[in-house]
Amino acid sequence: MKPTLFVLAAGMGSRYGGLKQLDGLGPNGETIMDYSIFDALRGGFGKVVFVIRHIFEDDFREKIIGKYKNHIPIDLVFQELDQIPTGFSVPADRSKPWGTNHALLMGREVINEPFAVINADDYYGRESFKILADYLVSLENKQNDYCMIGYRLGNTLSESGSVARGVCEKNKDGFLTNIVERTYIIRDADGKIKFKNEQGEMQTVGENTPVSMNMWGFTPEYFKYSEQQFVDFLKNNIDNPKSEFFIPLAINNLINNDKARVKVLDTPSKWFGVTYQEDRQGVVDKLKELHNKGEYPAKLF
């Protein structure tokens, strides 16, 4: 059975100011998501599930799904604020979504095989999808064995300013032991990568330090763990309008309680995205170069 690609796209409407402005960055107006679907298809994925908001369903079906539907099976699921367990109600001052792991939970009715999770607006690279698909195939009929693509930190930085990254620690066997969110990472004038630690001091970190770019691999029982953890999250955070149930939060919990293990898979791929508006032209140039090198055909779909 081929693994499924689960694309977190519920934030697209707000981030892009409506899907009508979905940014065409490739030489023929391709979106970053087009490259992810193309790379997933040739990497060995067999289905794509998008999680979106109901408010832009019509636009999404017309402008996005239309171009993929003859290439790979597509499912749509929806993330809304009121999709929370019985016994809880949405606070009046809550407008922010419940986070990436809540969005992931929305796939539990349509995904019954090993699956990958990605962001809709990040470029992950051809190699990463192949590495992830191959590993997920090996997880069929297994439980509590997950994986993540560990990008080399130096391959994920922005030339326009600092970035936030989930810096990963792993054991000698390559399994994740911890993810620490570093909210200020930058390459200095000497070319060294540094992050700001808890004391506000700048600390040097290695070029090849693995970081999470929200590219994960799971088997279906992860949904059950997530449901349990979401209840605990709401008990502790429902009155905080900005709190979010993130995937690394759930992962760290499982690892710390010895319920699952996560293999960190190294990739040579360079990640890129539009972190700053100034990044946009650089992304356009990189995609054009990939087409010129023959990495992608003139028309993806």
What contacts 24+ positions apart, CB below 8 Å, involve 107-111?
107/6, 107/49, 107/51, 107/77, 107/223, 108/220, 108/223, 108/227, 109/77, 110/49, 110/75, 110/77, 111/4, 111/6, 111/49, 111/220, 111/223
Task: Note the pLDDT of residue 64.
Answer: 87
User: Structural domains in the chain?
Assistant: 4-292 (3.90.550.10)
Q: What is the pLDDT of residue 277?
A: 83
pLDDT for residue 132: 98
- What's the pLDDT at 204? 95
Instruction: Answer yes or no: are the C-beta atoms of 230 and 87 closer than 8 Å.
Output: no
pLDDT of residue 17: 64
Q: How many alpha carbons fall within 13 Å on the CB side of residue 270?
A: 10
Q: What is the pLDDT of residue 136?
A: 98
Rounded to two decimals, the pTM is 0.94
Structure confidence at residue 108 (pLDDT): 97
In the predicted model, residues of the chain with pLDDT beneath 70 are: 13-21
pLDDT of residue 20: 61
**Digit-coded pLDDT (tens) for 58-75:** 989 988 888 998 899 999
Q: What integer pLDDT is reported at residue 224 of this predicted model?
A: 97
pLDDT at residue number 69: 84
